[in-house]
């Protein structure tokens, strides 16, 4: 029963995340006519990275929904067993919930400054709240959720998604910082604030 609950939660979670981001993006654009989606020019590094990330996110959603109706599809994911599996799957669900909370909190803190992708137009530095602890709190929270997914559904597929997701997010963060370092105020902020929560040295990376 608990295992079935986790399976239903996983599918529902990714559906709701998709609905949330679609609603926020359309709502903000409907208010002022400005798109918050900035992937960069077609064929650029950031454009490629973002579409790879989106493709894997869509694959995850499709698999999580389809496996509720066709459990045999799990074999395609190449599942593997973990010790104390139900406990670890439950811990994975908890990490996903915490991830969504941190993301939602940061979105609310940013208000209408939230954007997805690379854009320095109208740049205003945020250095308090979540941004006082690290320079990329949303990306770090997404990584936390991806670790949770891998624990909640241990398989070669989710492990690959975790690896690809971490590589995509760290590359995206570096590309965004390369643009933002044109602003002296951001460079100063980066020198006193760690890039990630797990960074111990306050250096520009």
What pLDDT, on the 0 to 100 scale, is given for residue 23?
A: 87
Residue 66, domain member (yes or no): yes
Domain that holds residue 48: 2-117+124-192
Residue 202, domain member (yes or no): no
How far apart (Å, rounded) are the C-alpha atoms in residues 80 and 119? 40
What pLDDT, on the 0 to 100 scale, is given for residue 117?
A: 72
Residue 198, domain member (yes or no): no
pTM as predicted: 0.90
Residue 16, domain member (yes or no): yes
Residue 150, domain member (yes or no): yes
Write the Ramachandran bin of 37: left for phi over 0, alpha for psi from -120 to 50, otherwise beta.
beta
Residue of 161, 198, 114, 118 lying closest to 14 (CA atoms): 161
The CATH code of the domain that includes 132 is: 1.20.120
Give the HSE-up count for residue 76: Cα atoms under 13 Å, Cβ half-sphere: 11
Residue 204, domain member (yes or no): no
Kindly state the DSSP code that residue 130 receives in the 8-state scheme.
H
The tens place of each residue's pLDDT in the chain, 205 residues long, gives 888 999 999 999 999 998 988 888 888 888 888 887 878 778 788 888 888 888 999 999 999 999 999 999 999 999 998 899 999 999 999 999 999 999 999 989 988 788 777 666 667 888 899 999 999 999 999 999 999 999 999 999 999 999 999 999 999 999 889 888 888 899 899 999 999 998 754 444 4
CB contact at 8 A, 124 and 44: no
**Hey, how many other C-beta atoms are within 10 angstroms of the C-beta on 201?**
7
Q: Which two tokens stand for residue 76?
A: 């395609």
Cα separation values, 14 from 30, 31, 84, 149, Å = 24, 26, 25, 10
Residue 203, domain member (yes or no): no
What pLDDT, on the 0 to 100 scale, is given for residue 118?
A: 66
> Based on the structure, what is the number of domains in the chain?
1
Give the per-residue SS3 of 150-176.
HHHCCEHHHHHHHHHHHHHHHHHHHHH
Residue 19, domain member (yes or no): yes
């Amino acid at each position: 029963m608990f295992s079935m609950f986790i399976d239903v939660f996983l599918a529902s979670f990714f559906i709701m995340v998709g609905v949330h981001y679609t609603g926020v993006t359309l709502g903000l654009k409907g208010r002022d006519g400005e798109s918050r989606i900035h992937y960069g020019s077609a064929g650029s590094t950031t454009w490629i990275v973002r579409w790879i990330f989106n493709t894997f996110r869509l694959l995850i959603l499709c698999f999580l929904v389809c496996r509720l109706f066709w459990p045999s599809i799990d074999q395609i994911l190449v599942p593997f067993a973990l010790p104390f599996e139900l406990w670890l799957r439950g811990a994975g669900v908890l990490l996903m919930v915490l991830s969504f909370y941190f993301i939602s909190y940061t979105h609310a803190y940013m208000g209408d400054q939230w954007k997805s992708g690379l854009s320095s137009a109208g740049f205003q530095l945020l250095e308090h709240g979540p941004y006082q602890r690290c320079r990329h709190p949303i990306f770090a929270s997404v990584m936390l959720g991806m670790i949770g997914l891998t624990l909640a559904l241990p398989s070669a597929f989710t492990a690959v998604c975790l690896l690809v997701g971490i590589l995509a997010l760290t590359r995206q963060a570096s590309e965004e910082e390369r643009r933002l370092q044109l602003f002296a105020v951001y460079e100063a902020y980066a020198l006193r604030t760690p890039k990630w929560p797990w960074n111990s040295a306050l250096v520009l990376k």
